[in-house]
Amino acid sequence: MTDPIEKIRSALLPVEITGDDDAIKREGQRRATVLMPLVKRDEWQVILTQRPETMPSHPGQISFPGGKIEIGESARAAAYRETWEEIGLVEDQISLIGRLPSFNAVTEYRVTPYVGIIDPQARMKPDPREVADLFEIPLAFLMNPNNHVPRDVFFDGREHRLYDMPYDEPNGVHRNLWGMTAMMIYRVYQRSFSHEA
């Protein structure tokens, strides 16, 4: 994969939100944000978290750092705050390169996903109340369509095609990315690499 970060950067929306892209679209909805963190090791990696089984919502799921946007807070500020609270990275260790369009989640949230480059020297300190495990998956694996497993679900009166991304770590640990996290990764793939497939 040649210069994947520039391909991703050029396919994203600007970091600053100038319109109402992240505005609430339906009654009872709340704004939320996540950060897709990328870090350069021997190759580019995507940093992910696994939620504790004890969490009241989405227990055990694989996710990006993120959460609810507080009243008066921007989506960008919330992405920094949530990343600090969950995995201990401060704002100056994160370089945002853009964002995906905001979307309505299956739950009551309107989610704004950011993509950022993490300082490879940064030491991450996951909060055990919110993060049971912190791990990395190669970006090249997640951007390879051969690793996208289609799954059709019926929701909101119609059929939707989702993609799961099962991954086996070199140490034998099996990870299954699915749901909203996998679909955000798939959207990055669609915008940046799908024309190469």
State the CATH number of the domain containing residue 115: 3.90.79.10
pLDDT at residue 7 in the model: 95
Cα dihedral across residues 119, 127, 57, 80: positive or negative: negative
Q: H-helix or E-strand containing 25?
A: none
pLDDT at residue 50 in the model: 94
Assess whether pLDDT exceeds 60 at residue 1: no
Higher pLDDT, 55 or 23: 23
Per residue in 139-184, pLDDT (tens digit) is 999 999 999 999 998 877 888 889 999 999 999 999 999 999 999 9
Q: What is the pTM of this model?
A: 0.93
* Helices and strands (H and E) in the chain: how many: 4, 11
- The total number of structural domains in the chain stands at 1
pLDDT at residue 55 in the model: 66
Percent of the chain with pLDDT over 70: 95
Domain range enclosing 152? 4-196
pLDDT at residue 197 in the model: 55
Mean residue pLDDT of the chain comes to 92
